[in-house]
Structure 1
């Protein structure tokens, strides 16, 4: 409403007491006219005749009488109301000018107040926009930080997964290598066993040739069942199987399954205990356990001597993995 009012052209404010001023001017004019009328009539009137009686007396020269002069009536000067009208108009003009100046001052004050309010409103809007922009920046920064943390966590998870995959792959490669090494070692042990068996057979044949037909006590002995148990043929004493069991048991290296495995190894020895041959006569069905049992027997060379100071020529050993 204030801006709409300020857009109209300036108009002088309605004066207060205008009716009173007009009434007072009318009364003054009537009084002025009344005085003018009576003043002019007094000057134009013919003075009335006067009668006088003259008495002649002997003048008294001793005491002169004063001469009485009749008073002269002076007409009042005519009132010039031009200056009053001018003064009244000037006063009225001054009042109008003062009212106009007051209205202009009020309009200026209202305009300044409106400008101040508009400026304050703009400042509030700018402050609100700045606060909203700061809040938006803070939210964007927080979202960016959360996204960075999430990306970092995903990268850590991926790195951990890759590390686990590499570890699994390394374990698988190590297992493959261990299996390959074990297989190669088994092949090497088999070849060495075969070579040792051939050498022992050659030595046995040579010793038999020198002895003239071999030892009468040799024969096919049957070992008693048990873990690492064994006995010499018919010439073995009662405690010989326990000696063989203790010796072979120390040389068994097995970490696999222990259920249902049993391997029978036939051995041939020289009287001094030297192992001439070791052969699996009954397999357990597990090639790795059979190889471990055969190696344990081969590592037990030489075999223990019996009570008579000699080792039985041949006997069998039944081997089972310790539970």
Structure 2
């Protein structure tokens, strides 16, 4: 900062030594010149003595003029050298000449001193002018440098603003593209999910249809086999069997067809066979279904029907499917399964 302030100030020329001495010498020479001029003019105070001269002229004769003879040529005049001046006059002349020379020398010296003074003043003025021009140039250069720095600063600031604006635009564009990509991704995922759900539903429907068809075919085949076996058993029994008997309640006992009573542990065997096949996730309170079962002596399930409904069709079907999955039924201690009996089923916790 101090260097800039020093540069802004005009540079002054160095002070010259001997200025007062030169001024004193010039004043002395002026005084000497004035003294010489005064004494040079007033060096002779005596008034010179005057001289008298009479001039005579011939009056011409105005009568009849007579021709005058031609004048003879003038005789050559011998120039006499000037008499030597007197000693006093020579001394005065020498003194005057000396004074004149002194005056001329003093005048020349004064003129030279004046010229030197004027030259010094001119040099000083030129130096001051040069210093002023140099200071002006330095000030102009400093102003130009400041203007360039300010311009560069403004340019850098504008560049930074433009970069920030470009970054914001790029960020907004990236966010927009990311949002668009996210929307496309969500749409794609939603479509894939919908397609997967539709496919799963279609597969489930197809499987359900196939299962229903297979179950119907299996049921029809099973019913056909049961009817054939039942007809065979009826033929072997002499034309018929009794379908009545006591049911196998939960934890209870029952009697099989043909009047043969089951053992005390047969109901528990049936319970252990049927219970793992029950699949139910609904309500349990107050549900009880009685399923009538017909079996071959080997335990093969010939038929299973709902004799007493619980009032909940879904639970009734779950109980019926559990009995059907339990085929074949366990045999009793005599090695044969009862021909007909009932199973009372309740959901766990009911």
Q: TM-score range by the shorter chain?
A: 0.5 to 0.7
Per the alignment, residue 255 of structure 2 pairs with 232
In 2, Cα distance between equivalents of 1:96 and 1:213:
165
Per the alignment, residue 38 of structure 2 pairs with 34
Structure 2 residue ranges without an equivalent (≥5): 1-18, 50-86
Are 2:135 and 1:114 equivalent residues in the alignment?
no
In 1, Cα distance between equivalents of 2:320 and 2:121:
139
Per the alignment, residue 61 of structure 1 pairs with none
Per the alignment, residue 270 of structure 2 pairs with 244
In 1, Cα distance between equivalents of 2:24 and 2:112:
17
Are 2:345 and 1:319 equivalent residues in the alignment?
yes
The answer to whether the Cα contact below 8 Å between 2:294 and 2:302 also exists between their aligned partners in 1 is yes
Say which of 287, 308, 313 aligns to 1:282: 308
Classify 1:142/1:99 alpha carbon distance in 2 versus 1 (closer, same or farther; 3 Å).
same
**Structure 1 residues 5-53: Cα deviation after superposition (integer angstroms, max 9, x where no partner):** xxxxxxxxxxx99x999987874553233121233557x867xxxxxxx
For these two proteins, the number of residue pairs brought into alignment is: 279
TM-score by length of 2: 0.62
The answer to whether the Cα contact below 8 Å between 1:231 and 1:244 also exists between their aligned partners in 2 is no
Classify 1:113/1:301 alpha carbon distance in 2 versus 1 (closer, same or farther; 3 Å).
closer
In 2, Cα distance between equivalents of 1:142 and 1:225:
81
**Structure 1 residues 301-322: Cα deviation after superposition (integer angstroms, max 9, x where no partner):** 3322233443222111122333
The answer to whether the Cα contact below 8 Å between 2:295 and 2:301 also exists between their aligned partners in 1 is yes
The answer to whether the Cα contact below 8 Å between 2:247 and 2:253 also exists between their aligned partners in 1 is yes
**Structure 1 residues 84-106: Cα deviation after superposition (integer angstroms, max 9, x where no partner):** 56435534542442243123212
Are 2:282 and 1:257 equivalent residues in the alignment?
yes
The answer to whether the Cα contact below 8 Å between 2:40 and 2:96 also exists between their aligned partners in 1 is no
Per the alignment, residue 75 of structure 1 pairs with 95
In 2, Cα distance between equivalents of 1:226 and 1:148:
73
User: For residues 57-68 of structure 1, what are the structure 2 equivalents within 5 Å?
Assistant: none
Of 193-202 and 129-138, more deviation after overlay is shown by 129-138
TM-score by length of 1: 0.66
